[in-house]
Chains A and B, each alone.
Chain A
Amino acid sequence: MSDAAAIEVRGLKVHFANRSGAGAVRAVDGIDLTVARGAFHGIVGESGCGKTTLARTIVGLQKESEGTVLIGGRNRAEWLKSDRKSFSREVQFVFQDPLGSMSRRQSVYQTLEEPLQIHRFGSSVERRRRIAELLDLVALPETVLDRLPRSLSGGQRQRVSIARALALKPSILVCDEPLSALDVSIRAQIVNLFTSLQKQLGLTIVIVAHDLAIVREVCSDVTVMYLGRISEAGVTRPLFREPAHPYSQALLSAVPSPDPRIEAGRRRIILAGDPPSPSAPPPGCRFNTRCPVAIDVCRVEEPMLRSVPHGGVAACHLADSGRRPVI
């Protein structure tokens, strides 16, 4: 698996049957994505656009309706079926909700020990040592070890769950908003931790995140999603500097600054209207119902991903390698 990409997603669709009998919820609706080994890949986009579903499908928590996921060149579905354990030593997942992802009956120690036990890691003394290392990694004091998840603060919980994901020394870490529950100073620590782990161990990290400042800081590449599709992708900094897709532009302009003086005078693009329902995406460009610069063709023809000035790709009729719309 040496030169294969860490993660390759081809034509992925994940649909959920709809309760009221109308069309299925198309949470992920046709995604191609390649994450190179050692990359730090950010996934951003509007709430409900399918980021979590995509991440879950990558690690096999969710079955694909169509398409394939390759991990290090190996078909994920087959790998999971034949050897779940070796797959889990390769790929780990950090959940959005740290509390729910830990058993409420297990102490922190038991929680951290569980993956080691599942993989029959060493004696109990060695496990204890490894757990101490893990606590160090995520900057938690030993005193948390016999506490239950509920009695930890939000930040402490997420650090425990990150420690647990690192326990098996995976080479790919998929994280669903691992930072949302952390406060800023810890965020900085965890982000720095992620980057240093990535450098030390050649870890590949895919991170779903809302904090764009952090994405810009740590992610080498970024994918912007809108309504189950990729709307724009590329190298983070150039993309953030001159986003080609109108949605990305709106998204980036909505990020508030910590400086109230900047906040007072800043221009924001406020998107009109509500996000469309993922069970009935609009015809043509998925963004056309809210796009300030939409033209007639946007309402009938779906734009394909094409090269744009920042070097990445975007799915917008008004953008190509020479120009981009500015709203």
Chain B
Amino acid sequence: MNISAIRDIKDWPWLVLLPVIGFVLIGIFAPAIMPYDPSAQDYSATLEGMSWNHWLGTDYLGRDVFSRIVGGARISLVAMVIVLVAALAIGVTIGSFAGYVGGRVELVLISIIDIALALPSLVIALALIGILGTGYWSMITALTLAWWANYARMSRAVVTAELQQPYIEAARVMGAGHLWIFVRHILPHVLALVVVYASADAGALVLAIATLSFLGLGVAPPTPEWGQMLVDGMSYIEEVPRLVVLPGLALTLVVVSFNLLGEAFALQKVPRPVRGATLRRRRRARAREEAERNAVETGTTSA
């Protein structure tokens, strides 16, 4: 949110971030990375093993598995980002509004949020797809509507807690309007918390997208999608386990690394004392100063 937060990224465990960054980069540059069109079929080369031509082999329609995994990353990434942004926008808006306005409006909104939270997200998504029909956009809509409530509840809790802080009153006294107070003082706290959860949720979302596609309710073939690839591979699991194992691995890696990212964020929130190299440097500087001071104080005493 501000410069110092960005500077702090330096201290993050990069190892945890690498898979996430890898996933995002692969998703963004997928078209440049993919050696083949991921949906192009080649009946002359079905179920091929790993080779220089096809790094991870081909599937039963002769499509390049590597290209499909990379293409699948892009699909998951885009769908996940759309759902997250939409869910965050809806959740933060509704939750903050409820918390800020209070009173009866809050009660009504909380009831809605609580109902939405009482059901597992995937169940809501399935029910909504039942209503909206299958397809990419209905999957996105369904997931968004299944996911927002969590953020709404968190936002409301943060807003309610922050509103009680005396510094909000101080801002009122300075003449700040509601918008100013919300944007300058409350929203940063809301986002700081919600983003942590969202980063951990990203993995779960990727998984949910794969699950829906696996069930044939999400991304339709021939678009490369990991859940889709799992279904396709299932029939060949005995002969070519690779077709199941590879997308499964990709999925696992992404989910786990997003969870780790969420955790890293959560740790970030706790104010940390100075440590590591900075601390060592400053301790040395202090010791040097102390030695100098002692030298002056004792040196002149003996003189």
Contacts and interface: CB of A to CB of B under 8 A. Distances in A.
Q: A and B: direct contact (Cβ < 8 Å)?
A: yes
Interface of A: 59, 61, 84-85, 87-89, 92-93, 95, 97, 100-105, 114-115, 118-119, 161, 164, 168
A103 B166 contact: no
Interface of B: 165-167, 169-177, 180, 184-185, 188-189
Given A103-B185, A105-B188, A114-B184, A92 B173 contact: yes
Contacts of B184: 114
9 contacts: A61-B173, A84-B172, A84-B175, A100-B166, A103-B167, A105-B189, A115-B174, A161-B170, A168-B174
Contacts of A114: 171, 174, 176, 184
A102 B165 CA distance: 9
A101 B169 contact: yes
Given A85-B175, A93-B173, 17 more contacts: A61-B169, A84-B172, A88-B175, A89-B175, A95-B170, A97-B166, A100-B165, A101-B166, A103-B167, A103-B185, A105-B188, A114-B171, A114-B176, A115-B175, A118-B174, A119-B175, A168-B175
A118 B177 CA distance: 9
Contact of B167 (A88, A93, A100): A100
Given A103-B185, A105-B188, A118 B166 contact: no
Contacts of A101: 166-167, 169-170
B177 A84 contact: yes
Interface class of chain A by DSSP? mixed
Report, nearest first, the 6 A-B pairs whose CB atoms are least far apart. A88-B175, A100-B166, A115-B174, A85-B175, A101-B170, A93-B173
B175 A118 contact: yes
A244 B19 CA distance: 78
Nearest to B1: A105
Contacts of A59: 173
A32 to B, nearest CB: 24
Nearest to A93: B173
B167 A102 contact: yes
Contacts of B174: 88, 92, 114-115, 118, 164, 168
